[in-house]
A and B are shown apart, each in its own frame.
Chain A
Protein backbone atom coordinates (compact mmCIF):
# COMPACT_ATOMS: atom_id res chain seq x y z
CA UNK A 1 0.00 0.00 0.00
CA UNK A 2 2.89 2.31 0.94
CA UNK A 3 4.39 2.32 -2.50
CA UNK A 4 1.03 2.41 -4.25
CA UNK A 5 0.46 6.06 -3.40
CA UNK A 6 3.95 6.96 -4.58
CA UNK A 7 3.49 5.03 -7.80
CA UNK A 8 0.23 6.82 -8.57
CA UNK A 9 1.71 10.24 -7.85
CA UNK A 10 4.89 9.52 -9.77
CA UNK A 11 2.73 8.84 -12.78
CA UNK A 12 0.36 11.76 -12.27
CA UNK A 13 1.10 14.49 -9.72
CA UNK A 14 -2.32 16.02 -10.23
CA UNK A 15 -4.21 13.09 -8.79
CA UNK A 16 -6.25 14.36 -5.87
CA UNK A 17 -6.30 12.69 -2.48
CA UNK A 18 -9.91 11.74 -3.18
CA UNK A 19 -8.98 10.00 -6.43
CA UNK A 20 -6.07 8.18 -4.82
CA UNK A 21 -8.23 7.16 -1.88
CA UNK A 22 -10.94 5.49 -3.92
CA UNK A 23 -8.43 4.01 -6.36
CA UNK A 24 -6.67 2.24 -3.52
CA UNK A 25 -9.64 1.69 -1.24
CA UNK A 26 -8.30 4.00 1.52
CA UNK A 27 -9.89 6.97 3.23
CA UNK A 28 -9.10 10.44 1.97
CA UNK A 29 -7.72 11.48 5.37
CA UNK A 30 -5.32 8.53 5.37
CA UNK A 31 -4.03 9.48 1.94
CA UNK A 32 -3.51 13.13 2.91
CA UNK A 33 -1.64 12.06 6.00
CA UNK A 34 0.58 9.63 4.09
CA UNK A 35 1.45 12.22 1.46
CA UNK A 36 2.36 14.78 4.12
CA UNK A 37 4.61 12.20 5.70
CA UNK A 38 6.35 11.55 2.39
CA UNK A 39 6.82 15.26 1.85
CA UNK A 40 8.27 15.79 5.29
CA UNK A 41 10.70 12.92 4.84
CA UNK A 42 11.65 14.19 1.37
CA UNK A 43 10.56 10.87 -0.07
CA UNK A 44 8.46 13.04 -2.32
CA UNK A 45 11.28 15.39 -3.27
CA UNK A 46 9.21 17.86 -5.27
CA UNK A 47 6.53 18.45 -7.90
CA UNK A 48 7.22 19.82 -11.36
CA UNK A 49 5.42 20.09 -14.67
CA UNK A 50 6.58 18.57 -17.94
CA UNK A 51 6.35 21.23 -20.63
CA UNK A 52 6.98 20.90 -24.32
CA UNK A 53 8.55 24.34 -24.80
CA UNK A 54 8.99 23.75 -28.52
CA UNK A 55 5.23 24.07 -28.89
CA UNK A 56 5.22 27.61 -27.53
CA UNK A 57 8.29 28.69 -29.46
CA UNK A 58 10.65 28.31 -26.53
CA UNK A 59 14.24 28.71 -27.69
CA UNK A 60 16.08 27.33 -24.69
CA UNK A 61 18.74 24.66 -25.12
CA UNK A 62 19.68 21.65 -23.10
CA UNK A 63 23.12 20.08 -22.98
CA UNK A 64 24.50 16.89 -21.51
CA UNK A 65 27.98 17.38 -20.12
CA UNK A 66 30.30 14.51 -19.41
CA UNK A 67 32.84 15.47 -16.80
CA UNK A 68 36.00 13.68 -15.68
CA UNK A 69 37.28 14.64 -12.26
CA UNK A 70 39.95 13.79 -9.74
CA UNK A 71 38.21 12.48 -6.64
CA UNK A 72 38.81 14.58 -3.55
CA UNK A 73 40.83 13.07 -0.76
CA UNK A 74 38.59 11.70 1.97
CA UNK A 75 35.38 12.78 0.24
CA UNK A 76 35.49 10.92 -3.07
CA UNK A 77 33.07 12.29 -5.61
CA UNK A 78 30.43 13.37 -3.11
CA UNK A 79 31.65 16.91 -2.57
CA UNK A 80 32.21 17.53 -6.25
CA UNK A 81 28.75 16.31 -7.17
CA UNK A 82 27.20 18.42 -4.43
CA UNK A 83 29.02 21.49 -5.72
CA UNK A 84 27.88 20.91 -9.28
CA UNK A 85 24.33 20.64 -7.99
CA UNK A 86 24.47 24.15 -6.55
CA UNK A 87 24.27 25.93 -9.90
CA UNK A 88 20.78 27.01 -10.96
CA UNK A 89 21.60 26.27 -14.57
CA UNK A 90 22.18 22.63 -13.69
CA UNK A 91 19.10 20.48 -14.08
CA UNK A 92 20.45 17.10 -12.99
CA UNK A 93 23.67 15.61 -11.68
CA UNK A 94 24.54 11.93 -11.79
CA UNK A 95 27.61 10.02 -10.65
CA UNK A 96 28.37 7.58 -13.45
CA UNK A 97 30.22 4.35 -13.99
CA UNK A 98 32.33 4.02 -17.13
CA UNK A 99 34.40 6.37 -19.24
CA UNK A 100 33.60 9.55 -17.31
CA UNK A 101 32.62 10.34 -13.73
CA UNK A 102 29.84 12.87 -13.56
CA UNK A 103 26.99 13.58 -15.97
CA UNK A 104 25.33 16.96 -15.71
CA UNK A 105 22.42 18.30 -17.72
CA UNK A 106 22.29 22.03 -18.13
CA UNK A 107 19.49 24.27 -19.36
CA UNK A 108 20.40 27.58 -20.91
CA UNK A 109 18.94 30.30 -23.08
CA UNK A 110 21.30 29.69 -26.01
CA UNK A 111 24.24 27.60 -27.15
CA UNK A 112 26.56 30.46 -26.22
CA UNK A 113 24.96 30.64 -22.81
CA UNK A 114 25.60 26.97 -22.08
CA UNK A 115 29.05 27.01 -23.64
CA UNK A 116 30.14 29.90 -21.45
CA UNK A 117 28.68 28.24 -18.37
CA UNK A 118 30.84 25.20 -19.07
CA UNK A 119 33.99 27.14 -19.86
CA UNK A 120 33.57 29.72 -17.07
CA UNK A 121 32.11 27.66 -14.26
CA UNK A 122 32.79 23.97 -14.74
CA UNK A 123 36.05 23.58 -16.67
CA UNK A 124 38.17 25.86 -14.44
CA UNK A 125 37.41 23.88 -11.25
CA UNK A 126 40.73 22.49 -10.11
CA UNK A 127 39.54 18.86 -9.82
CA UNK A 128 37.91 18.80 -13.28
CA UNK A 129 40.24 17.20 -15.79
CA UNK A 130 38.03 17.28 -18.88
CA UNK A 131 34.52 18.06 -20.12
CA UNK A 132 32.57 17.02 -23.20
CA UNK A 133 29.43 18.96 -24.02
CA UNK A 134 26.62 17.41 -26.06
CA UNK A 135 23.72 19.60 -27.08
CA UNK A 136 20.24 18.13 -27.26
CA UNK A 137 18.79 18.50 -30.74
CA UNK A 138 15.27 17.31 -30.07
CA UNK A 139 13.43 15.85 -27.12
CA UNK A 140 11.35 12.78 -27.91
CA UNK A 141 10.56 11.47 -24.47
CA UNK A 142 11.19 12.73 -20.96
CA UNK A 143 10.25 11.18 -17.60
CA UNK A 144 8.23 8.55 -19.42
CA UNK A 145 6.23 11.13 -21.35
CA UNK A 146 6.34 11.27 -25.13
CA UNK A 147 6.86 14.66 -26.76
CA UNK A 148 4.90 14.22 -29.94
CA UNK A 149 3.90 16.50 -32.74
CA UNK A 150 0.28 17.45 -32.55
CA UNK A 151 -0.65 15.12 -35.32
CA UNK A 152 -4.20 14.73 -36.41
CA UNK A 153 -5.86 12.11 -34.25
CA UNK A 154 -6.76 8.86 -35.88
CA UNK A 155 -10.24 8.91 -37.31
CA UNK A 156 -12.10 6.55 -35.09
CA UNK A 157 -15.25 4.54 -35.31
CA UNK A 158 -17.59 4.04 -32.42
CA UNK A 159 -18.00 0.56 -31.10
CA UNK A 160 -20.56 -0.61 -28.63
Chain B
Protein backbone atom coordinates (compact mmCIF):
# COMPACT_ATOMS: atom_id res chain seq x y z
CA UNK B 1 0.00 0.00 0.00
CA UNK B 2 1.30 3.44 -0.87
CA UNK B 3 0.68 5.25 2.37
CA UNK B 4 1.90 8.54 0.99
CA UNK B 5 -1.21 8.48 -1.19
CA UNK B 6 -3.41 7.55 1.76
CA UNK B 7 -2.08 10.08 4.23
CA UNK B 8 -2.90 13.77 4.13
CA UNK B 9 -0.07 15.84 2.74
CA UNK B 10 -0.93 18.58 5.19
CA UNK B 11 -0.55 16.17 8.10
CA UNK B 12 2.62 14.66 6.64
CA UNK B 13 4.02 18.17 6.41
CA UNK B 14 3.96 18.57 10.19
CA UNK B 15 7.41 18.37 11.71
CA UNK B 16 7.77 15.88 14.54
CA UNK B 17 8.08 17.73 17.83
CA UNK B 18 11.65 18.41 18.87
CA UNK B 19 10.71 17.53 22.40
CA UNK B 20 9.42 14.09 21.63
CA UNK B 21 12.65 13.18 19.86
CA UNK B 22 14.50 14.22 22.96
CA UNK B 23 12.28 12.36 25.38
CA UNK B 24 12.89 9.13 23.52
CA UNK B 25 16.42 9.33 24.92
CA UNK B 26 15.22 9.52 28.52
CA UNK B 27 14.74 6.17 30.08
CA UNK B 28 17.45 5.71 32.63
CA UNK B 29 16.28 5.30 36.20
CA UNK B 30 18.86 7.73 37.51
CA UNK B 31 17.67 10.56 35.29
CA UNK B 32 16.45 13.68 37.06
CA UNK B 33 13.93 15.26 34.76
CA UNK B 34 13.44 18.99 34.61
CA UNK B 35 11.86 18.38 31.24
CA UNK B 36 8.26 17.53 31.93
CA UNK B 37 5.74 20.33 31.49
CA UNK B 38 3.29 19.45 34.22
CA UNK B 39 2.86 19.95 37.96
CA UNK B 40 4.52 17.39 40.22
CA UNK B 41 1.55 17.63 42.58
CA UNK B 42 -1.23 15.09 42.55
CA UNK B 43 -4.68 16.65 42.07
CA UNK B 44 -5.86 17.82 45.53
CA UNK B 45 -7.86 15.12 47.24
CA UNK B 46 -11.16 16.99 47.61
CA UNK B 47 -11.18 17.51 43.84
CA UNK B 48 -10.45 13.84 43.14
CA UNK B 49 -13.11 12.96 45.67
CA UNK B 50 -15.71 15.04 43.83
CA UNK B 51 -14.90 13.08 40.67
CA UNK B 52 -15.26 9.79 42.54
CA UNK B 53 -18.53 10.90 44.12
CA UNK B 54 -19.96 11.67 40.69
CA UNK B 55 -19.07 8.15 39.53
CA UNK B 56 -20.69 6.66 42.63
CA UNK B 57 -23.86 8.52 41.81
CA UNK B 58 -23.77 7.09 38.33
CA UNK B 59 -23.11 10.32 36.44
CA UNK B 60 -21.58 8.58 33.47
CA UNK B 61 -23.55 10.09 30.58
CA UNK B 62 -22.60 12.70 28.00
CA UNK B 63 -22.96 16.24 29.28
CA UNK B 64 -24.43 19.07 27.20
CA UNK B 65 -22.06 19.84 24.31
CA UNK B 66 -20.67 23.01 25.82
CA UNK B 67 -20.28 21.41 29.27
CA UNK B 68 -22.60 21.17 32.28
CA UNK B 69 -24.41 24.38 33.16
CA UNK B 70 -23.05 24.04 36.70
CA UNK B 71 -19.46 24.06 35.44
CA UNK B 72 -20.03 26.85 32.93
CA UNK B 73 -21.58 28.92 35.70
CA UNK B 74 -18.59 28.22 37.95
CA UNK B 75 -16.27 29.25 35.10
CA UNK B 76 -18.29 32.40 34.50
CA UNK B 77 -18.03 33.31 38.21
CA UNK B 78 -14.32 32.60 38.19
CA UNK B 79 -13.67 34.79 35.14
CA UNK B 80 -15.56 37.58 36.85
CA UNK B 81 -13.87 37.39 40.24
CA UNK B 82 -10.36 36.81 38.86
CA UNK B 83 -10.21 38.96 35.75
CA UNK B 84 -13.32 41.18 35.91
CA UNK B 85 -14.58 39.57 32.70
CA UNK B 86 -18.25 38.82 32.05
CA UNK B 87 -19.09 35.74 29.99
CA UNK B 88 -22.55 34.30 29.84
CA UNK B 89 -22.60 30.65 30.90
CA UNK B 90 -25.41 30.19 28.40
CA UNK B 91 -23.52 30.78 25.16
CA UNK B 92 -20.08 32.30 25.69
CA UNK B 93 -18.22 29.43 27.36
CA UNK B 94 -17.20 26.06 25.86
CA UNK B 95 -15.73 23.32 28.04
CA UNK B 96 -13.10 21.41 26.09
CA UNK B 97 -10.72 18.47 26.27
CA UNK B 98 -7.81 20.42 27.68
CA UNK B 99 -6.73 23.89 26.70
CA UNK B 100 -5.32 22.37 23.52
CA UNK B 101 -8.74 21.55 22.16
CA UNK B 102 -9.89 25.07 22.91
CA UNK B 103 -6.99 26.41 20.83
CA UNK B 104 -7.84 23.98 18.03
CA UNK B 105 -11.52 24.98 18.08
CA UNK B 106 -10.73 28.67 18.08
CA UNK B 107 -8.40 28.32 15.10
CA UNK B 108 -10.79 26.13 13.14
CA UNK B 109 -13.64 28.51 13.88
CA UNK B 110 -11.78 31.56 12.60
CA UNK B 111 -9.22 30.54 9.96
CA UNK B 112 -9.95 30.60 6.23
CA UNK B 113 -7.45 29.02 3.82
CA UNK B 114 -4.35 31.20 3.58
CA UNK B 115 -5.11 33.32 6.64
CA UNK B 116 -1.99 34.24 8.54
CA UNK B 117 -1.67 33.46 12.23
CA UNK B 118 0.98 35.34 14.17
CA UNK B 119 2.72 33.22 16.79
CA UNK B 120 5.32 34.80 19.09
CA UNK B 121 8.25 32.51 19.79
CA UNK B 122 9.71 30.85 21.78
CA UNK B 123 6.37 29.31 22.73
CA UNK B 124 4.41 26.14 23.30
CA UNK B 125 4.77 23.96 20.23
CA UNK B 126 1.15 23.40 19.21
CA UNK B 127 0.03 26.75 17.77
CA UNK B 128 1.77 26.50 14.40
CA UNK B 129 0.74 22.91 13.59
CA UNK B 130 -2.88 23.53 14.65
CA UNK B 131 -3.02 26.67 12.49
CA UNK B 132 -1.60 24.69 9.57
CA UNK B 133 -4.14 21.89 9.99
CA UNK B 134 -6.90 24.50 9.98
CA UNK B 135 -5.61 25.75 6.62
CA UNK B 136 -3.85 28.80 8.01
CA UNK B 137 -0.27 29.96 7.63
CA UNK B 138 1.67 30.38 10.84
CA UNK B 139 3.88 33.47 10.92
CA UNK B 140 6.45 33.22 13.66
CA UNK B 141 7.76 36.33 15.32
CA UNK B 142 10.86 35.98 17.44
CA UNK B 143 11.02 37.58 20.85
CA UNK B 144 14.36 38.17 22.54
CA UNK B 145 15.87 37.90 25.99
CA UNK B 146 16.61 41.64 25.81
CA UNK B 147 12.86 42.30 25.58
CA UNK B 148 12.23 39.79 28.36
CA UNK B 149 10.75 37.48 25.69
CA UNK B 150 7.74 39.79 25.44
CA UNK B 151 6.05 40.57 22.16
CA UNK B 152 6.47 44.29 21.48
CA UNK B 153 4.05 46.46 19.44
CA UNK B 154 6.86 47.22 16.95
CA UNK B 155 7.57 43.53 16.37
CA UNK B 156 3.88 42.79 16.03
CA UNK B 157 3.41 45.62 13.56
CA UNK B 158 6.34 44.37 11.49
CA UNK B 159 4.75 41.00 10.69
CA UNK B 160 1.18 42.13 10.05
CA UNK B 161 0.05 41.82 6.41
CA UNK B 162 -3.35 42.17 4.74
CA UNK B 163 -3.69 38.40 5.22
CA UNK B 164 -3.23 38.51 9.00
CA UNK B 165 -6.28 37.05 10.73
CA UNK B 166 -5.15 36.05 14.18
CA UNK B 167 -2.62 36.74 16.88
CA UNK B 168 -1.79 34.11 19.46
CA UNK B 169 -0.83 35.57 22.85
CA UNK B 170 0.83 32.80 24.88
CA UNK B 171 1.36 34.54 28.23
CA UNK B 172 2.36 33.62 30.93
CA UNK B 173 4.72 31.96 28.54
CA UNK B 174 5.91 28.41 28.24
CA UNK B 175 8.97 28.11 28.01
CA UNK B 176 10.26 31.56 29.00
CA UNK B 177 8.00 32.42 31.96
CA UNK B 178 7.41 35.89 30.48
CA UNK B 179 4.18 37.68 31.32
CA UNK B 180 2.57 40.81 29.88
CA UNK B 181 1.54 43.67 32.16
CA UNK B 182 -1.57 45.76 31.67
CA UNK B 183 0.32 48.60 29.99
CA UNK B 184 2.16 46.18 27.69
CA UNK B 185 -1.15 44.60 26.74
CA UNK B 186 -2.67 48.02 26.10
CA UNK B 187 0.16 48.86 23.72
CA UNK B 188 -0.34 45.59 21.81
CA UNK B 189 -4.11 46.07 21.82
CA UNK B 190 -3.74 49.37 19.93
CA UNK B 191 -1.98 47.58 17.07
CA UNK B 192 -4.42 44.68 17.10
CA UNK B 193 -7.44 46.98 16.96
CA UNK B 194 -5.89 49.23 14.32
CA UNK B 195 -5.44 46.24 12.00
CA UNK B 196 -8.70 44.63 13.06
CA UNK B 197 -7.31 41.20 13.90
CA UNK B 198 -8.56 38.64 16.37
CA UNK B 199 -6.68 37.18 19.32
CA UNK B 200 -6.40 33.76 20.91
CA UNK B 201 -5.07 34.36 24.40
CA UNK B 202 -3.68 31.19 25.93
CA UNK B 203 -3.88 31.92 29.65
CA UNK B 204 -3.46 28.38 30.92
CA UNK B 205 -0.75 29.58 33.37
CA UNK B 206 -2.76 32.58 34.59
CA UNK B 207 -2.81 31.34 38.19
CA UNK B 208 0.95 30.94 38.20
CA UNK B 209 2.22 34.50 38.23
CA UNK B 210 4.61 35.64 40.91
CA UNK B 211 4.64 39.40 40.57
CA UNK B 212 1.19 40.83 40.81
CA UNK B 213 -2.09 39.62 39.37
CA UNK B 214 -2.50 38.18 35.92
CA UNK B 215 -4.24 40.56 33.51
CA UNK B 216 -6.30 39.05 30.71
CA UNK B 217 -5.99 40.79 27.35
CA UNK B 218 -9.76 40.49 27.00
CA UNK B 219 -10.15 43.00 29.84
CA UNK B 220 -8.34 45.69 27.82
CA UNK B 221 -10.71 48.15 26.18
CA UNK B 222 -11.87 47.07 22.75
CA UNK B 223 -10.42 43.57 23.09
CA UNK B 224 -13.23 41.43 24.50
CA UNK B 225 -15.14 41.40 21.21
CA UNK B 226 -12.12 40.05 19.30
CA UNK B 227 -10.53 37.72 21.87
CA UNK B 228 -10.97 34.06 22.69
CA UNK B 229 -9.55 33.40 26.15
CA UNK B 230 -8.25 29.86 26.61
CA UNK B 231 -7.78 28.48 30.08
CA UNK B 232 -8.06 25.15 31.87
CA UNK B 233 -7.52 23.08 34.96
CA UNK B 234 -4.26 21.29 34.16
CA UNK B 235 -1.72 23.72 35.51
CA UNK B 236 -3.63 25.66 38.15
CA UNK B 237 -5.15 22.65 39.91
CA UNK B 238 -2.61 19.98 38.89
CA UNK B 239 -5.24 18.21 36.78
CA UNK B 240 -3.33 17.43 33.57
CA UNK B 241 -4.63 13.88 33.23
CA UNK B 242 -8.28 14.90 33.58
CA UNK B 243 -8.02 16.64 30.22
CA UNK B 244 -10.23 19.62 30.87
CA UNK B 245 -10.01 23.16 29.59
CA UNK B 246 -12.32 25.87 28.34
CA UNK B 247 -12.67 28.83 26.04
CA UNK B 248 -14.51 32.08 26.68
CA UNK B 249 -15.35 34.57 23.98
CA UNK B 250 -18.05 36.60 22.31
CA UNK B 251 -21.01 34.34 21.54
CA UNK B 252 -20.62 34.87 17.79
CA UNK B 253 -17.30 32.99 17.99
CA UNK B 254 -18.07 30.49 20.77
CA UNK B 255 -21.25 29.45 18.97
CA UNK B 256 -19.19 28.28 16.00
CA UNK B 257 -16.57 26.71 18.25
CA UNK B 258 -19.29 24.78 20.05
CA UNK B 259 -20.59 23.50 16.72
CA UNK B 260 -17.17 22.11 15.77
CA UNK B 261 -16.75 20.66 19.26
CA UNK B 262 -20.16 19.02 18.96
CA UNK B 263 -19.15 17.19 15.77
CA UNK B 264 -15.57 16.34 16.73
CA UNK B 265 -15.75 15.62 20.45
CA UNK B 266 -19.41 15.64 21.54
CA UNK B 267 -18.64 16.71 25.10
CA UNK B 268 -15.70 16.87 27.50
CA UNK B 269 -15.26 14.03 30.03
CA UNK B 270 -18.14 13.99 32.50
CA UNK B 271 -16.20 12.90 35.60
CA UNK B 272 -13.63 15.61 35.01
CA UNK B 273 -16.38 18.23 34.79
CA UNK B 274 -17.73 17.29 38.21
CA UNK B 275 -14.24 17.45 39.68
CA UNK B 276 -13.67 20.82 38.01
CA UNK B 277 -16.73 22.37 39.66
CA UNK B 278 -15.24 21.44 43.04
CA UNK B 279 -11.88 22.87 41.95
CA UNK B 280 -13.35 26.24 40.95
CA UNK B 281 -15.66 26.55 43.92
CA UNK B 282 -13.36 25.30 46.69
CA UNK B 283 -9.85 25.19 45.28
CA UNK B 284 -8.47 28.69 45.85
CA UNK B 285 -6.36 27.53 48.81
CA UNK B 286 -4.84 24.73 46.73
CA UNK B 287 -3.79 27.18 44.06
CA UNK B 288 -2.23 29.43 46.63
CA UNK B 289 -0.37 26.58 48.27
CA UNK B 290 1.05 25.26 44.99
CA UNK B 291 1.95 28.73 43.77
CA UNK B 292 3.91 29.41 46.96
CA UNK B 293 5.76 26.10 46.58
CA UNK B 294 6.62 26.87 42.95
CA UNK B 295 7.66 30.34 43.94
CA UNK B 296 10.19 29.05 46.46
CA UNK B 297 11.62 26.61 43.92
CA UNK B 298 11.68 29.35 41.30
CA UNK B 299 13.78 31.63 43.47
CA UNK B 300 16.12 28.83 44.40
CA UNK B 301 16.62 27.64 40.83
CA UNK B 302 17.13 31.14 39.53
CA UNK B 303 19.77 31.91 42.19
CA UNK B 304 21.59 28.68 41.45
CA UNK B 305 21.65 29.19 37.68
CA UNK B 306 23.08 32.65 38.08
CA UNK B 307 25.60 31.39 40.63
CA UNK B 308 26.71 28.66 38.23
CA UNK B 309 27.18 31.25 35.53
CA UNK B 310 24.20 30.44 33.31
CA UNK B 311 22.54 33.79 32.93
CA UNK B 312 18.90 33.62 33.87
CA UNK B 313 16.37 36.35 34.38
CA UNK B 314 13.78 35.67 37.02
CA UNK B 315 10.65 34.53 35.18
CA UNK B 316 7.38 36.10 36.35
CA UNK B 317 5.03 33.29 35.44
CA UNK B 318 4.40 29.60 34.63
CA UNK B 319 6.88 27.09 36.10
CA UNK B 320 9.78 27.25 33.71
CA UNK B 321 13.23 28.74 33.86
CA UNK B 322 14.87 29.61 30.56
CA UNK B 323 18.57 30.14 31.24
CA UNK B 324 20.99 31.13 28.50
CA UNK B 325 23.64 28.53 27.75
CA UNK B 326 25.46 30.68 25.22
CA UNK B 327 28.46 31.07 27.54
CA UNK B 328 29.17 27.34 27.16
CA UNK B 329 29.65 27.62 23.42
CA UNK B 330 27.34 24.65 22.90
CA UNK B 331 24.12 24.63 20.91
CA UNK B 332 20.90 23.98 22.85
CA UNK B 333 20.70 20.45 21.52
CA UNK B 334 24.35 19.65 22.19
CA UNK B 335 24.01 21.01 25.70
CA UNK B 336 20.84 19.04 26.45
CA UNK B 337 22.01 15.80 24.88
CA UNK B 338 25.39 15.87 26.57
CA UNK B 339 23.89 16.87 29.93
CA UNK B 340 21.53 13.92 29.68
CA UNK B 341 24.20 11.44 28.63
CA UNK B 342 26.98 12.63 30.92
CA UNK B 343 25.07 13.75 33.99
CA UNK B 344 21.60 12.20 33.64
CA UNK B 345 19.71 15.48 33.88
CA UNK B 346 16.96 16.14 31.36
CA UNK B 347 16.26 19.67 30.21
CA UNK B 348 14.59 20.71 26.96
CA UNK B 349 16.63 22.40 24.22
CA UNK B 350 15.26 25.90 23.70
CA UNK B 351 15.07 25.56 19.92
CA UNK B 352 12.26 23.02 20.37
CA UNK B 353 10.11 26.11 21.04
CA UNK B 354 11.17 27.94 17.90
CA UNK B 355 14.45 29.08 16.35
CA UNK B 356 14.61 32.04 18.71
CA UNK B 357 14.94 29.60 21.61
CA UNK B 358 18.40 28.59 20.38
CA UNK B 359 21.02 29.32 23.00
CA UNK B 360 18.63 28.57 25.86
CA UNK B 361 17.28 25.51 27.63
CA UNK B 362 13.97 25.06 29.39
CA UNK B 363 14.03 23.75 32.95
CA UNK B 364 10.78 23.02 34.73
CA UNK B 365 10.77 23.76 38.44
CA UNK B 366 7.62 21.78 39.11
CA UNK B 367 9.94 19.17 40.64
CA UNK B 368 10.86 18.50 44.26
CA UNK B 369 13.33 20.85 45.90
CA UNK B 370 15.77 18.01 46.51
CA UNK B 371 15.67 16.97 42.85
CA UNK B 372 16.14 20.55 41.73
CA UNK B 373 19.12 20.88 44.06
CA UNK B 374 20.63 17.62 42.83
CA UNK B 375 20.05 18.53 39.20
CA UNK B 376 21.67 21.93 39.63
CA UNK B 377 24.73 20.36 41.27
CA UNK B 378 25.05 18.03 38.31
CA UNK B 379 24.62 20.90 35.86
CA UNK B 380 27.38 22.75 37.69
CA UNK B 381 29.68 19.73 37.39
CA UNK B 382 28.77 19.43 33.74
CA UNK B 383 29.62 23.04 32.99
CA UNK B 384 33.00 22.87 34.69
CA UNK B 385 33.75 19.71 32.69
CA UNK B 386 33.13 21.32 29.31
Dominant secondary structure at the A interface: loop
Rounded to whole angstroms, the CA-CA distance of A8 and B368 in the bound complex is 13
Selected interface stretch from A9-17, A79-87, A108-116 = A9-17
Contact with B along A14-44 (1 / 0, CB 8 A): 1110010011110000000000000000000
Q: Is A158 on the interface with B (CB-CB < 8 A)? A: yes
Contact with B along A94-134 (1 / 0, CB 8 A): 00000000000000000000000000000000000000000
Rounded to whole angstroms, the CA-CA distance of A25 and B300 in the bound complex is 9
Contacting residues, chain A, for B124 (C-beta < 8 A): 160
Give the Cβ gap from B79 to chain A, nearest Cβ, in Å: 25
Q: Is A51 on the interface with B (CB-CB < 8 A)? A: no
Please determine whether A22 and B299 come into contact, CB atoms closer than 8 angstroms: yes
Given contacts A158-B35, A159-B38, contact A12 B370 (CB under 8 A): yes
Please determine whether A14 and B303 come into contact, CB atoms closer than 8 angstroms: no
Q: Name the one of A14, A23, A25, A156 contacting B370, with C-beta atoms under 8 angstroms.
A: A14
Please determine whether B125 and A160 come into contact, CB atoms closer than 8 angstroms: yes
Give the Cβ gap from B376 to chain A, nearest Cβ, in Å: 10
Contacting residues, chain A, for B352 (C-beta < 8 A): 160
Contacting residues, chain B, for A14 (C-beta < 8 A): 370
Question: What is the total of A-B residue contacts with beta carbons within 8 Å?
Answer: 43
Q: Is B304 on the interface with A (CB-CB < 8 A)? A: yes
Contacting residues, chain B, for A24 (C-beta < 8 A): 296, 299
Q: Is B82 on the interface with A (CB-CB < 8 A)? A: no
Please determine whether A159 and B240 come into contact, CB atoms closer than 8 angstroms: yes
Rounded to whole angstroms, the CA-CA distance of A112 and B23 in the bound complex is 54
Contact with A along B294-315 (1 / 0, CB 8 A): 0011011011100000000000
Contacting residues, chain B, for A156 (C-beta < 8 A): 36
Scan residues 270-314 of chain B and give those whose CB is less than 8 A from a CB of chain A. Answer: 296-297, 299-300, 302-304
Q: Which residue of chain A lies nearest to B19 when distances are taken between CB atoms in the complex? A: A160
Contacting residues, chain B, for A160 (C-beta < 8 A): 17, 19, 37, 124-126, 174, 348, 352-353
Q: Name the one of B37, B125, B369 contacting A19, with C-beta atoms under 8 angstroms.
A: B369
Q: Is B15 on the interface with A (CB-CB < 8 A)? A: no
Give the Cβ gap from B94 to chain A, nearest Cβ, in Å: 21
Scan residues 326-381 of chain B and give those whose CB is less than 8 A from a CB of chain A. Answer: 348, 352-353, 369-370, 373
Contact with B along A140-160 (1 / 0, CB 8 A): 000000000000000010111
Scan residues 43-84 of chain A and give those whose CB is less than 8 A from a CB of chain B. Answer: none
Contacting residues, chain B, for A16 (C-beta < 8 A): 373
Q: Name the one of A23, A158, A159 contacting B300, with C-beta atoms under 8 angstroms.
A: A23
Q: Which residue of chain A lies nearest to B304 when distances are taken between CB atoms in the complex? A: A22
Contacting residues, chain B, for A12 (C-beta < 8 A): 369-370
Given contacts A158-B20, A160-B17, contact A19 B35 (CB under 8 A): no
Rounded to whole angstroms, the CA-CA distance of A159 and B124 in the bound complex is 10
Rounded to whole angstroms, the CA-CA distance of A160 and B17 in the bound complex is 9
Give the Cβ gap from B28 to chain A, nearest Cβ, in Å: 14
Chain B residues at the A interface, C-beta cutoff of 8 Å: 17, 19-20, 23, 35-38, 124-126, 174, 240, 296-297, 299-300, 302-304, 348, 352-353, 369-370, 373
A-B contact pairs, 18 of them (CB 8 A): A8-B296, A12-B369, A16-B373, A19-B369, A22-B299, A22-B303, A22-B304, A23-B300, A23-B369, A25-B299, A158-B19, A158-B20, A158-B23, A158-B37, A159-B36, A160-B37, A160-B124, A160-B353
Question: Nearest 9 CB-CB pairs, A to B?
Answer: A23-B296, A22-B303, A22-B300, A158-B23, A159-B37, A160-B125, A22-B299, A160-B19, A23-B300
